[in-house]
Amino acid sequence: GKNGVPVAENFRLEQSTIPDTVQEGQVRVRTLYLSVDPYMRCRMNEDTGLDYLLPWQLSEVADGGGIGVVEESKNNNFAKGDYVTSFNWPWQTVAILDGSLLQKLVPQLVNGCLSYFLGAAGITGLTALLGIREKGHVTVGANQTMVVSGAAGACGSLAGQIGRLEGCSRVVGIAGTDEKCSILVSEMGFDAAINYKKENVAEQLRKLCPGGVDVYFDNVGGDISDTVISQMNQNSHIILCGQISQYNKDVPYPPPLPPDTEKIQKERNITRERFLVLNYMDKQEASVLQLCQWIQEGKLKV
């Protein structure tokens, strides 16, 4: 359908046998890691609303970001024992895949933590880094304040840290539990964090961002985003990363702002452009190396 919250009954587990033979150009892989991400909720609608993302088909194997090890290869680019990744990895323990869909991984780049290539050194980290660089307009020494919603999530927790590394002087996160808020401040280097379930977000933003908000890394949309936008400065920037609060609803992407919020956005000349990391794949290699360097130096905590 088009609306509704995914439930366990939407899935089933099957046991089946894969072919014995690997064809020319293929590799047999054993799955090590799968990434389960909010955007996948879009793939449970018959229309994802996104031209670059196809819906999962009924009774077909689900897929997403994954990492595995090559067990047999008939592809010149891969040998047995290589670690590989794909954005369309099937959710199965063993698979035969077309080698042209795979990328080889170098474990040393992430201190041996392979799963980081699905997170901090993968699409998640790229989304945070390129979102800030392409849409955040962060300038070193400009005394900018960044607010991150969904700040304790995979992308938000990196975005706050990267905002600081790129030059923001103050970073404030919004999350849903006291524990998450505590971790953001004590471990991730945020200056402050707001528990939106217990605190008045508007009041806390006024207190924690006395100079207003210059950059908003938006992961959630909805009421929280309306509240943040109401406190954004003239010529400030929204990085439109995700709209988690809207994913189970049949609305266009990006969802339109309420009239009052849209009025503020236009009057203050706040940029709010659709951001899609896949449009910047020419910068992928250099950006992944930057993320890996920060991880190795301990500047980016995962």
| Same domain (yes/no): 261, 184 | yes
Identify which has the larger pLDDT, 249 or 239: 239
* CATH at residue 52: 3.90.180.10
Q: What percentage of the chain has pLDDT greater than the value 90?
A: 81
* CATH at residue 141: 3.40.50.720
Whether 117 is covered by a domain: the verdict is no
Supply the pLDDT for residue 255. Answer: 76
Q: How far apart are CA 173 and CA 230, in angstroms?
A: 16
Whether 118 is covered by a domain: the verdict is no
Q: What percentage of the chain has pLDDT greater than the value 70?
A: 96
Whether 293 is covered by a domain: the verdict is no
| Longest CA–CA separation in the chain, Å | 65
| pTM assigned to the model | 0.87
| Same domain (yes/no): 177, 271 | yes
- In one-letter notation, the amino acid at residue 78 is F
Q: How far apart are CA 131 and CA 38, in angstroms?
A: 17
Asked whether the predicted pLDDT for residue 270 surpasses 90, the reply is yes
Whether 47 is covered by a domain: the verdict is yes
Burial of 287 (0-12, 13-18, 19+ CB in 10 A): buried
Of the candidate ranges 29-38, 46-55, 78-87, 201-210, the one whose mean pLDDT is the lowest: 46-55
Identify which has the larger pLDDT, 273 or 270: 270
Q: How far apart are CA 14 and CA 173, in angstroms?
A: 41
Asked whether the predicted pLDDT for residue 1 surpasses 70, the reply is no
* Closest residue by Cα to residue 189 from 215, 216, 166: 166
Residue-number span of the structural domain to which 80 is assigned = 8-105
Cα distances from 295 to residues 50, 51, 112, 151, 236, in angstroms, run 32, 33, 11, 19, 29
| Same domain (yes/no): 266, 147 | yes
Residue 274 binned pLDDT confidence (cut-offs 50, 70, 90) = confident
In the DSSP assignment, the letter for residue 141 is T
| Same domain (yes/no): 134, 267 | yes
Q: What is the mean pLDDT of residues 26-39?
A: 93
Joined together, the tokens standing for residue 34 give: 């799968």
| Same domain (yes/no): 133, 249 | yes
| Same domain (yes/no): 96, 203 | no
- Specify the number of domains making up the chain: 2
Strands (E) in the chain, as ranges, are: 26-34, 63-73, 83-90, 94-98, 103-104, 145-149, 170-175, 192-195, 213-218, 232-240, 271-274
Tell me if 82 sits within 8 A of 70, measured CB to CB: yes
| Same domain (yes/no): 61, 22 | yes
In the DSSP assignment, the letter for residue 203 is H
| Same domain (yes/no): 90, 127 | no
Of the candidate ranges 59-68, 138-147, 252-261, the one whose mean pLDDT is the lowest: 252-261
Supply the pLDDT for residue 249. Answer: 57
Q: How far apart are CA 302 and CA 130, in angstroms?
A: 18
Q: How far apart are CA 225 and CA 174, in angstroms?
A: 10
Whether 300 is covered by a domain: the verdict is no
Whether 161 is covered by a domain: the verdict is yes
Mean pLDDT of the chain: 93
Q: Torsion-angle region of residue 3: left (phi > 0), alpha (psi -120 to 50) or beta? A: beta
Residue 40 binned pLDDT confidence (cut-offs 50, 70, 90) = confident
Whether 208 is covered by a domain: the verdict is yes
| Same domain (yes/no): 269, 130 | yes
Strand partners, 174: 149, 194
| Same domain (yes/no): 86, 152 | no
Whether 87 is covered by a domain: the verdict is yes
Asked whether the predicted pLDDT for residue 301 surpasses 70, the reply is yes
